Structure 1
Amino acid sequence: MAKENERTLAFTWYREEDYERLLDVSQEQEGLKDNYKEWLADARQAFLKYKRLGFEPTRVYLDVEEYVAWCDRRERPVNHKSREMFKEIKRQEFYRNLDKD
């Protein structure tokens, strides 16, 4: 990884409409807040924490429809475990693209 990218941190992020859809389609609520406002407050706090630690957090937006389709293709439930797997895939895609620059 290039020197300037060593402190870059992929930070998965939801848009409000995607978060509400995620709540609707999730089979369980583990790891989710009751609403976007609560999720956003926690996410911002974590984002700022990493900035203070010297990282350069970068938002990687998650598309819930893409996630649901990903679950369908793999016959996986829409739940905490599959959500974490999908988020990791998106973070890794971000890092691979970062290395191309």
Structure 2
Amino acid sequence: MAIQHQAGICWIKEDQWQRFLEVTEDADMLENDWHDWVRKTEEMIETFSAKGIDVVKVPVDVEELISWCHEKERTVNSSSRAEYVTKLMTGQPLQGDTTH
């Protein structure tokens, strides 16, 4: 099946995993161990790929994500991560992009 759609996923490096779990509001929904998270996420990526959705791993620096969320007055959660990843993927400005 040809890839028809593309989606991004927040990809956290192993050395930032514990910090990520400390700050994300939905840590209870995630694996405690980074290797377990990678295994589960890879399985999800394969499932989406089989349905024609190309999932791109978007490297996210946890401290930059935290800063962006503070700027937007948002908590770090699945919704804010999705918006942040979309901005990274589309090249939208991350800093100073609020309207006043």
Find the counterpart in structure 2 of residue 89 from structure 1. 84
- Whether the aligned pair in 2 keeps the contact of 1:71 and 1:77 (CA below 8 Å) is yes
Range with greater deviation from structure 2 (65-74 or 36-45): 65-74
**Structure 1 spans left out of the alignment, 5+ residues:** none
Note the 1:1-101 alignment, pairs <5 A: 6-26=4-24, 29-78=27-76, 80=77, 83-94=78-89, 96-97=90-91
CA distance in 1, matches of 2:87, 2:72: 19
Identity, % of aligned positions: 21
| 1:17-64 superposed Cα distances (whole Å, 9 cap, x missing partner) | 122221233466232211201211110110111111122221112210
Paired residue type of 1:71: C
How does the TM-score come out when normalised to structure 1? 0.67
- Whether the aligned pair in 2 keeps the contact of 1:12 and 1:61 (CA below 8 Å) is yes
How does the TM-score come out when normalised to structure 2? 0.67
- Whether the aligned pair in 1 keeps the contact of 2:10 and 2:60 (CA below 8 Å) is yes
**Structure 2 spans left out of the alignment, 5+ residues:** 92-100
CA distance in 2, matches of 1:7, 1:45: 18
- Between Structure 1 and Structure 2, the one with more helix by share is 1
Q: CA RMSD in A?
A: 2.6
The Cα shift of 1:77 comes to 4.2
